[in-house]
Structure 1
Amino acid sequence: MAGDLFGDDAPAGAGDATGPVPLAERLRPRSLADVVGQEHLTGAEGAIGRMVAAGQLSSIILWGPPGTGKTTIARLLAEAVGMRFAPLSAVFSGVADLKKAFADAEKMAAAGKRTLLFVDEIHRFNRAQQDGFLPFVERGTVVLVGATTENPSFALNAALLSRAQVLVLHRLDEAALALLVERAEADVGRSLPVTADARAALIASADGDGRFLLNQVETLFAAAIADPLDAAQLAQFLHRR
């Protein structure tokens, strides 16, 4: 369940820590209820929970650190209300990609299917590109869900912010991260080869990033470790890796 946590049915290769599908991808949640650490948004009283209950989405900006579930929440949100999910990355997309995304959304709207346009790292688009979203958001061609690690007040146009609700995602706390490790162990079918102290140190080292934690867990499962590592051995092993 990571992040992005964060679903689709488990792909082929689940249960094999060294298989072609990364552990973090295999553990992506299958519903909003499976997302850990963001219950203030996804719970019944949270902004996202209320939108789903009403069956009506407004454009939102998901602001939070890496590995907290922004991409997964957006995808599951679309599924929960029966919308088409169209992802873009501002790092890899340009004007042509945006035009195609809007054209596809208009075609789908004409066929009676609404589109949730998810834009990862939306702050990477310049001001003119951000302005390009406005007419499509205003007409309802797309419901825009943007994700950013930067403060939206400084990184996004005021005009775009005025049309979207900013929702803040928290770093995953110790309990949420511990749950991710337990899910990983259940997926692989064995316990993590570390002592209790090393397990606590591993969780602390993630600094609230679920994807980073699961990548470290996968590294440990893939290695041939005969005896459980203590905290010092774990630090040396991961640093060496």
Structure 2
Amino acid sequence: MVSLFESQASRPLADRLRPAKLDEVVGQGHLFGDDGPITRMIKTGRVPSVILWGPPGCGKTTLARLMADVADMAFEPLSAIFSGVADLRKVFDRAKGRRATGASTLLFIDEIHRFNKAQQDSFLPFVEDGTITLIGATTENPSFELNAALLSRCQVLVLKRLDDPGLDELLVRAEKEMGFELPLSPEARITLRAMADGDGRYLLNLAEELFLLPPSEEGPLGVAELSRIVQKRVPLYDKGDDGHYNLISALHKSVRGSDPDAALYWFNRMLAGGEDPKFLARRITRMAVEDIGLADPQAQQICVGAWEAYERLGSPEGELALAQAVIYLALAPKSNAGYTAYKRSLKVARDTGSLMPPAHILNAPTKLMKEIGYGTGYAYDHDQEDGFSGQNYFPDGMRRQNFYEPVERGFERDLKKRTEYFDRLRRERQKQRGED
């Protein structure tokens, strides 16, 4: 027979340190503040259906259990990975039985985004009529992974990755539980927290390995010794999920914000997560044409050149070429004037349908075309003294549009002077021709 002490010892450290009360939850103060959503639920004594969205190891499962305890509800946990409709039906039947006796049921679904649309829809009538209160946990963006109908019936609470003080609090609790301190130097302790990458459960699993080490006569472990003993947590990054889009957005906005250091950080975060460098090459080229444009026409050439260099060099040397392109883009003058002009002109082109070009700029390769006026009145610009005729090139009956508005930065400063010069000449020619 297993004794109580043996049973306790066999439980993982992370499980033994699982909070028993809501005020023991670490790192989620935004949910437990004076006006936090969890605080409001406790005060009212009512737990609504909720989606808990956050990274691994931030306490989603624990929080769901504690919310059930606070509301005095039966806790029914299921994993979407291992459960199906048959399992759900059993839970719904038990919940109906409890409801008949006046008791409530909290159904917790871990990895709820793994359920397909039909499985998610199966919750709806039971959530609607109050048979169950649903708490779903997900590491994926609910906006993309959960049905709109289900989302409309649930409040989404966002849990944060644990910060450094929160991780250190877990280590202090672990040391109190074990009765002795971790055999780490101050620097190694900092490194251990960094290795966990915000995942409290992973941190406690690493700490448990260190607690089992035999005492060393050489003193606390340093950073190098620690790195040999335990493995750093692989960064959270899935090329198809929300994290992918968050990081590329961070890279793009860092470049746009002219911060080469932040841009390099996000660039390398994506590479460290396994991103395809060719995807990054494509995206930085897009940054060149969208956010720099003609303020520095060379930026696009630099990006294409870095892309070609990567394809010729391969990894890891080729990534340096892409990194240099990122630095160049971040420090280049910025203008989205070309991008804005493209979008404006595209909208007008679509809205105006099939308007013909004015007859004077149409070629007339046949006699009939000449007879109906194709090419009549066309002024050959090279024949003008200043090489500019100022004729109208928009469709007849359509007012002249001003799509491109260069900025006073970089090379576009020169282009602005040119557009203003041609605008002035155009007005002079129109006045000479008696046009408005």
Does TM, scored on the shorter chain, surpass 0.5? Answer: yes
TM-score, normalising length from structure 2?
A: 0.51
1:231 and 2:218 aligned: no
Deviations 1:69-117 (A, max 9, x none): 0000000001011111111110110111000010000101111110111
Shift of 1:205: 1.0
Report 1:172-183 matches (<5 A).
172-183=162-173
Q: Number of residues paired by the alignment?
A: 228
> 2:67 aligns to what?
77
Deviates more, 1:220-229 or 1:84-93: 220-229
Q: Distance in 2 between matches of 1:35 and 1:14?
A: 26
Shift of 1:225: 3.9
Q: RCO greater where, 1 or 2, for CA within 8 Å and sep 6 or more?
A: 1
> 2:55 aligns to what?
65
Shift of 1:48: 1.1
SS of aligned partner of 1:218: helix
Distance 1:213 1:15, change over 3 A: farther
Which structure shows the higher strand fraction? 1
1:25 aligned residue (15, 21, 28): 15
SS of aligned partner of 1:133: helix
TM-score, normalising length from structure 1?
A: 0.91
> 2:121 aligns to what?
131
Report 1:140-151 matches (<5 A).
140-151=130-141
2:189 aligned residue (196, 199, 205): 199
Report 1:159-174 matches (<5 A).
159-174=149-164
Shift of 1:13: 4.0
Structure 1 contact 15–187 (Cα < 8 Å) conserved: no
Percent identical pairs in the alignment equals 57
Shift of 1:45: 1.7
Deviations 1:44-78 (A, max 9, x none): 32111111110111111000000000000000001
Which structure shows the higher helix fraction? 2
1:110 aligned residue (100, 121, 125): 100
Q: Distance in 2 between matches of 1:156 and 1:208?
A: 25
Q: Counterpart of 1:56 in structure 2: which amino acid?
A: R
Residue ranges of structure 2 left out of the alignment (5+ in a row): 233-436
1:50 aligned residue (40, 52, 55): 40
Residue ranges of structure 1 left out of the alignment (5+ in a row): 1-10
Runs (4+) of structure 1 moved beyond 2 Å?
11-16
Structure 1 contact 75–85 (Cα < 8 Å) conserved: yes
Distance 1:33 1:239, change over 3 A: closer
Q: Distance in 1 between matches of 2:231 and 2:153?
A: 45
Q: Distance in 1 between matches of 2:230 and 2:149?
A: 45
Structure 1 contact 13–21 (Cα < 8 Å) conserved: no
Structure 2 contact 195–231 (Cα < 8 Å) conserved: no
Distance 1:91 1:201, change over 3 A: same
